[in-house]
Chains A and B, each alone.
Chain A
Amino acid sequence: MTTVAVPGKVRPAGLLRRPTATRGFWSWFTTVDHKKIAIMYGVTALLFFVIAGIEALFIRLQLLSPNGTILTAARYNEFFTMHGTTMVFLVGMPMAVAFGNYLIPLMIGARDVAFPRLNAFGYWVVLFGGLFLYSSFVLGGAPNGGWFGYTPLTSTPMSGGFLPGHGPDFWAVGLILMGIGSTTSAINFIVTILNLRAPGMSLMRMPVFVWMMLVVAFLTLFAIPPVTAALIMVFFDRNYLTNFFVGGKGGDPLLYQHLFWIFGHPEVYILILPGMGIVSEILPVFSRKPLFGYSVVIFSGIAIGFLGWGVWAHHMFATGLGPVAITAFGLSTMLIAVPTGVKIFNWLGTVWGGSLRLKTPMLFALGFIAMFTIGGLSGVTHSIVPADTQQTDTYYIVAHFHYVLFGGLIFAVIGGIYYWFPKMYGRYMNDKLGKFNFWTLLIGFNLTFFPMHFLGLWGMPRRTYYYPKGYGWETMNLLATIGGFIIAFSTLLFIVNILTSRYRGELAPDDPWDGRTLEWTIPSPPPEYNFAEIPIVHERDDFWHRKYTEDDQGRLVRIPSGGAIDTPAATTTGGGGHEDGNDEGHGIHMPSPSYFPFVLALGLPLLGYAAVFKDPWILAPLGVIVLLFGMYAWALEPGSE
């Protein structure tokens, strides 16, 4: 293979030598290491979780008693819109990508993802998208049309319409930006999982978490374009007076709902499947049993991925779609409960008869099963169309989705953080504090959201800034608000646990939980290159089978020398003899840090502001220049030097 004259020596405008630092504060801005990017995603998601949580606390304070006066109607609209938008796009999705980023390469035996710089770019885009979205609070008003932004409420012109000002424009453009980040992550994960697996790591030997992320990546890839289209249409209706949703000109607001929910329903599976993957990793380890029905769990995940595309109009049962459509979607919604239920039974089957260790990660995983099941049960009641017509737009729905997303995803995420923290930092999180964290969260969460089932069935509507006296809603609202503050307290405990454990936690070995998957074979914290030698995989849960075999009675027997991972006999080849200081003489060549993911990502919010403020003279050209500069510089620099 001929070598091309290295273009990396040419620098646009002669500045910027290639960054080389992989440690230190500034290295975070140029890193392309999937583990560091994952941590940035995770920290960002946690910060936004706190912010969105504070927004929720304000909502709960406003609803503490009838005719509340904490928030004006306008502010209330902003707060519930931003709470939902933040939780979905700046907490749920980034947290899933955080876990995916950290774990996928480790679990498949790879050194990094397929496109390290694209990985970093995806993170910066999401961060800048979130900052862009929140800048709206001080730039004329935050989005206030609900997290799903129904038309024509959001699409009437920005001056003179229902929602004047820039709020919904920030929302539409912000989501488009974040969608770009999500799409790049999805592509990266798919190519990584398909192409970078270690020898012997066939698809059916991959950990369930990796499979779930593969399904999620496909869902993301195909779900984001329709919503991007919808958001562009809303933006154009608002700002350029197009007629996509203008009833008076023949437009149909329901077109928006279709496009949004074609995205929106797969989106909820994008949110929950990573949680299901996490739980599928934790339960076997803390039951000392393999996952019950591995293949079935995976195929159920794939089935959910497919069926999830066929249920979207269950969010539209009350819009007058007609009996054929609602019947079809009602049936498909009932159907999708099946693979979900299958998974739940498989998790129970995993735990049943296992030798349980009820450490904090396990508590959260078990909590997930219970809470998600409750949420799933209320979900099934929504599939019955006449019942849903009563439930929709009430707090009953709010209860449902908080049970599946908070009781589901968030519980799994917290459990996952407790579980993988020792790998990331070489220290356990404090288990006693963790248990206290768990119980307070479980109590607070149920106290907040269980009453909402009743409130909804008693008719309390969503997205309404107050409720009057005399409906009998006071007690449940009081309980919910108290529960909300207990959640806040528990969250504080969680953050304290993270911060103190990071620096003073009990030291953890490489394999603190007696794990089953490849990430536990490498040091804690992992070196930059992950594996000193790429492992060869012989079976599912390969690591476990090297540590244990079974005797005649089926009891586990520890293999004395087990735990060493099989590696290729050949010595590792160095790549070009470059030594970044971290490879400890293995001669492993890792992708080099780069400024340009950050730079390129910076161009996007500039263009976003240009669009929102209709500035073709300064912001737009500036954004284009930054974008082009970032792109060219990135394209001209090699992957590693």
Chain B
Amino acid sequence: MEQVAIASGHEDHGTVTGVANTKLAMWMFLASDCLFFGAFISAYLLYHGRAGQAGPKPKDVYSIPFTSVTSFILLMSSLTMVLALAAIQRGDYRRLRVWLMATALFGATFIAGQIYEFTEFYRHGLSLSTNLFGSTFFVLTGLHGMHVTAGIIWLLTMWGMAMQGRLTTADSERIEVAGLYWHFVDVVWIVIFTVVYLVPK
């Protein structure tokens, strides 16, 4: 059958591996993003607890209860995201809009929590330049926050398109690909929350 070299996700029946081009592309990107975050997490771990650092230490500024709540919210946003996908696959466009907006709102709440946390830390004397902890913590979580923000914009765009009736079951893959990105961002936070906030010393 005639092979069309366009990748809109609908023609994945014509792809050699049988998987859609966009989905494969997103997984490639996520695999590479593992190395990106891995570098910053490694830098954090390398410098974590190094002797002789002046300025606030993690114990001095962390509020584990607060961060647990924001982490929980981000985790739940993954649930709402995958429910949005299930909804569009079923053709339930009302639930699609509800779950997309829920995901975006949870994400935005997480970011709001991050911003609050950053300002609190700053008030306690921790900035980018204070010590190794400040540098590695703010850059790592800041970059993660930027990824989440990009995701929120993406989700709101999808929601907007859904509101205009432009998304049908045929577009499930767009939601799926957005979802993959969103889950990845959540999964990175799972690692960060444990490794940066909870692990002792």
Contact = CB atoms under 8 A, between A and B. Distances in A.
Interface of A: 1-5, 7, 105, 110-116, 183, 186-188, 190-191, 194-198, 221-222, 224-226, 228-230, 232-233, 236, 240-244, 249-252, 255, 259, 534, 568, 570, 572-573, 575, 588-591, 628, 632, 635, 638-640
B25 A115 contact: yes
Given A110-B3, A195-B17, A251-B132, A228 B36 contact: yes
A187 B19 CA distance: 15
A190 B21 contact: no
Nearest to B140: A229
Contacts of A639: 6-8
A195 B21 CA distance: 7
Interface in B1-45: 1-8, 10, 15-17, 19, 21, 24-25, 28-29, 31-36, 38-40, 43
Interface stretch (B68-76, B107-115, B167-175): B167-175
B129 interface: yes
B53 A250 contact: yes
B50 interface: yes
Contacts of A236: 128, 135, 139
A233 B47 CA distance: 14
Interface of B: 1-8, 10, 15-17, 19, 21, 24-25, 28-29, 31-36, 38-40, 43, 46-47, 50-53, 128-129, 131-132, 134-136, 139, 143, 153, 157, 165-171
Contacts of A230: 39
A568 B47 CA distance: 61
A52 B93 CA distance: 56
Contact of B28 (A7, A221, A228): A221
A534 B15 CA distance: 14
A640 B11 CA distance: 13
A592 to B, nearest CB: 10
A111 B5 contact: yes
A105 B5 contact: yes
B128 A183 contact: no
Contacts of B7: 114-115, 191, 639
A114 B26 CA distance: 13
A2 B170 contact: yes
B168 A229 contact: no
B25 A196 contact: no
Pick from B32, B34, B47 the residue with the most CB of A within 10 Å.
Answer: B32
Contact of A589 (B1, B4, B10, B36): B4
Contacts of B28: 186-187, 190-191, 221
Pick from B19, B28, B128, B167 the residue with the most CB of A within 10 Å.
Answer: B28
A437 to B, nearest CB: 36
A4 B170 contact: yes
9 contacts: A7-B166, A105-B5, A111-B3, A222-B32, A226-B35, A226-B39, A242-B129, A243-B132, A575-B4
Nearest to B55: A249
Given A242-B128, A250-B53, A251-B47, A640 B35 contact: no
Pick from B53, B143, B166 the residue with the most CB of A within 10 Å.
Answer: B166
Nearest to A573: B2
A94 to B, nearest CB: 20
Given A195-B21, A241-B129, A243-B131, A229 B36 contact: yes
B46 A240 contact: no
Nearest to B3: A534
Contacts of A111: 3-5
A114 B46 contact: no
Nearest to A244: B135
Nearest to A589: B4
Contact of B157 (A228, A249, A568, A632): A632
Contacts of A224: 32
A115 B7 CA distance: 6
Contacts of B1: 568, 570, 573
A632 B154 CA distance: 10
B131 A591 contact: no
Q: Which 4 pairs between the two chains have the least Cβ-Cβ distance? A: A229-B39, A242-B135, A241-B129, A225-B36
